Amino acid sequence: MTEIPEHLRKRAEAARQKAAAASADTPTDAPAAGGSDAPPSEAPPSEAASKIPAHLLERAKNARQQQAGAKPDAPSGGAVAPAAAATAVATAAPPVAAGPGGHTQRLLTVVKSGSIQDVKATPQDKVHVWPHLLSIEFVAALACTAFLLVFSIFVNAPLLTLANTNLTPNPSKAPWYFLGLQEMLTMFHPMVAGVMVPGMGLFALILAPYTDRNPSNKPEDRKFAISLFTVFLMFWAVLVIIGSFFRGPGQNFVFPWKDGLFFEL
């Protein structure tokens, strides 16, 4: 239930007190018209006093007479209203939420507009995984498969000759995507470079969704996450480049423009 403002309560209370004072000042010992014992009648409030148009007062008066079983007054004013109905109209207390002159306040002036308006759901920038996301990923997988199939028909894989167990190539390098890990093995102990550092990286990836709770998808709002990923990417890229182009026989550091390039796909 919506609470009625305090200024409307005070206004209604003042209107009730004014109506009670007016009814107390009305003489009640005057005989009714026609010599009957009916209670005395009082002239209905005028249009200027009640601030209600005359045609509305006439309509309300006729409706009350119909409810009481009496014939409604003619618009010309020829018929005389019963004394009981006139007294009821004159002495009726204004409603609780009455305003100046006894006007009944509309509910829309009390209730906030937000609680009665039909507000639609807030639009969201999210879509369902199926079919919006999975259908696109499936089409992308088909396109990549078709490209690899056509590419493998025209370009042969760069395979070397059969391995000779009596001859170990020098330097013996891992594939390019493992050269970063091999480069760390030349600098740190195998326990550190092969277990601790990769393990810490995997653990940090597991904790990433719980440490970065920013829901925004805009790059300008994800500066911390983008900076952290950029540092990791550049760190690994530098290790791969060093292991590919700056390591020669015996995994020694060389300059490719001076000693040559010791790298094969």
For 130, 196, 215, 217, 222, the CA distances from 123, given in Å and listed in that order, are: 19, 46, 16, 16, 22
Cα atoms found within 13 Å of the Cα of residue 135, Cβ hemisphere only: 5
Per-residue confidence (pLDDT) for residue 23, from 0 to 100? 76
One digit per residue, the tens of pLDDT, for the chain of length 265 reads 556 778 788 888 888 888 888 877 665 544 444 444 444 444 555 555 556 778 788 888 888 888 887 554 544 444 444 445 445 444 555 555 555 555 565 555 555 555 555 556 666 777 788 888 899 999 999 999 999 999 999 988 878 788 888 888 888 888 888 888 999 988 899 999 889 998 998 998 898 888 888 888 888 888 888 888 899 899 999 999 998 899 988 888 899 898 888 877 6
3-state secondary structure of 247: strand
* Sign (positive or negative) of CA dihedral 37, 39, 40, 41: negative
How far, in Å, CA of 140 to CA of 146, rounded?
10
Sequence-distant (≥ 6) Cβ neighbours of residue 173 within 8 angstroms: 179, 182, 243, 244, 247, 262, 263, 264
pLDDT for res 122: 67
Buried b (16+ CB within 10 A) or exposed e, 45-69: beeeeeebeeeebbeebbebbeeee
pLDDT at 200: 92
| 74-82 long-range Cβ contacts below 8 angstroms, 24+ apart | 80/33, 81/41, 82/38, 82/41
Query: Residue 68 corresponds to which tokens in the numbers above?
Result: 């009481």
**Residue 41 · residue 134 · CB < 8 Å:** no
